[in-house]
Amino acid sequence: MNFPGWAGFWAGSNHLFRARAGEFVSFEIVVVQGMGLWGSHLFLAVRTGKVYFGCVSFAAGRAHCIGFAPWRQSAGLSSTWVDVEVTCPVCATVNVFKAPGSFGSYVYREPSRYQYVFWPATTDFFVYTCRRCHLSTAMLDFEDIPPDKITALAAMLEREGAIGGAVVPYFEIPVLTRLDIARKVYDVLGRDEVFWCEFERITGYHLAELGQSKHAHAARERALMLAEGLLETETSATAKETLIIVGTMRFFTGDPSGARAALADASKRTFTGADRDAAGLDEFLTQLIHDFRQRFLKESGQF
Ligand SMILES: [Zn+2]
C-alpha cells in the first residue's frame, strides 16, 4: 500500500522525532486496522522483516503517528509510555505529556471493547491538559488546533477553563475535569456526530469506572441518541459498526432486548467503509458481536 503525503511524527523506543511526508512509503506492507480512536487508527507495518505497531491519526487532513514501536506478540499485557514535550498551541507553554511507547493488539481485547471504547482512551494519560491555560484535548489533537480557533479558545479557557488546587502532572488532574474542558474545546473546534458519539462513550466509560453510574447512564444515552441518528444518515457501508455501538449503548442503558435486536441486524451486515481496512474491521466486529452475546445477552435471557 502507498501512503503519499504522510506527515507527522512518531515515537519509537524513547525517542520522538519528526518524519517527512512519504516516509512510510518505504514500508513493504502496511495494514491499517481502522478502529476509530477519536479519528485515529492502529496499524501494523512490516519493514525489512520486522513488524511494527502504531497509532495514526488522520485529523485535519494529515497523519500523525505515535506509539510506533516494534511489536512483539509475546510482550505481555502491558503497555509502555514515554514522556514527550509538547508545546501548547494556545499559550506556547511547553508541557510534558505521556505518549504510547509500545503496545500490542491485546488492547482490542480489553473489556472496554464491549462499550466500543478502546485503549488509550481508557487511560489517565489520554486527555492532555496544558498546565498553564488548561487547553484539553485527546492526545493526538493537541497540536492540531487550527490557528483561526486560537483566539476563541483562549477566551473560552480564560472564562471556563479554571482548575482548582495545586499544579500537578496533567494525568493527576481528575479525568472528568479534563474531559469537561475538552468538551468545551471541541465545541469551539466543531466536531461531527461520529466524534461526539465516541466522546460520550469515553465519558461514560470513565464515569462508570469512577462509580458515577447515574452520570455514566446519561452519557451513554447521549451516545445512543447520536448513534441512532447516524444510522438514519450514514451509508450502509458503516452500519455494522454503528449498529454494534447502538446495541452496546442500549444494553448499558438498561435495554437488553433493544441491544439484541441491534446486534442481530449488525450480524447480517458487512463493514465495507472505504477509508479503513474494511476486511480486518469486519472480522473484528463479527467477533465482537459473538463475544458480546456470550458475555452479556446469554445471561440476560436475550440471546
Ligand atoms: Zn496552554
Task: Please indicate whether residue 105 or residue 44 has the higher confidence score (pLDDT).
Answer: 105
Distance from Cα 152 to the centre of ligand 1, integer Å: 13
Residue-wise pLDDT for 144-154, tens only, equals: 999 999 999 99
Mean pLDDT over 37-43 rounds to 50
Distance from Cα 163 to the centre of ligand 1, integer Å: 13
Average pLDDT, the chain: 80
50, 51, 105, 203, 282 from 73: Cα distances, Å? 12, 10, 8, 30, 22
Distance from Cα 13 to the centre of ligand 1, integer Å: 27
pTM for the model: 0.75
Distance from Cα 66 to the centre of ligand 1, integer Å: 21
* 3-state SS, residue 19: strand
Distance from Cα 183 to the centre of ligand 1, integer Å: 16
What is the per-residue pLDDT for 18?
Answer: 30
Q: What are phi and psi of 83, to 5 degrees?
A: -80, 135
16, 27, 65, 106, 255 from 44: Cα distances, Å? 19, 10, 12, 13, 37
User: In the structure, what pLDDT confidence band is assigned to residue 234 with cuts at 50, 70 and 90?
Assistant: confident
CA–CA separation, 109 and 106 (whole Å): 5
What is the per-residue pLDDT for 198?
Answer: 97
**Amino acid identity of 57?**
S
Distance from Cα 92 to the centre of ligand 1, integer Å: 6
CA 196 to chain CA mean position, Å: 11
Q: Give the CB-side neighbour count of residue 123, counting CA atoms within 13 A.
A: 19
Distance from Cα 101 to the centre of ligand 1, integer Å: 24
Residue 272 has pLDDT above 60, yes or no: yes
Mean pLDDT over 222-249 rounds to 95
Tell me what percent of the chain is helix, strand and coil, each rounded to the nearest 5.
Answer: 45, 20, 35
| DSSP structure class, residue 119 | T
* 3-state SS, residue 107: helix
Smallest CA-to-CA distance from 12 within 41, 42, 60, 55 is with: 55
Residue-wise pLDDT for 212-223, tens only, equals: 999 999 999 999
CA 124 to chain CA mean position, Å: 13
Distance from Cα 250 to the centre of ligand 1, integer Å: 38
Residue-wise pLDDT for 70-106, tens only, equals: 444 333 456 789 999 999 999 999 999 999 887 777 7
CA–CA separation, 49 and 55 (whole Å): 20
Distance from Cα 120 to the centre of ligand 1, integer Å: 22
CA–CA separation, 195 and 190 (whole Å): 10
Q: How many CB atoms lie within 10 A of CB 249?
A: 29
* 3-state SS, residue 258: helix
Q: What is the 3-state secondary structure (H, E, C) of 46-90?
A: EECCEEEEEEEECHHHCCEEEEEEECCCCCCCCCEEEEEEEECCC
Radius of gyration from C-alpha coordinates of the chain: 19
Residue 7 has pLDDT above 50, yes or no: no
User: Which of 156-188 are b and which e, b meaning 16 or more Cβ less than 10 Å from the residue's Cβ?
Assistant: bbeeebebeeeeeebbebebebbbbbbebbbee
Distance from Cα 106 to the centre of ligand 1, integer Å: 34
Residue 36 has pLDDT above 50, yes or no: no
Task: Please indicate whether residue 15 or residue 215 has the higher confidence score (pLDDT).
Answer: 215
Distance from Cα 65 to the centre of ligand 1, integer Å: 22
Placement of cell 512510510 in the chain: 24
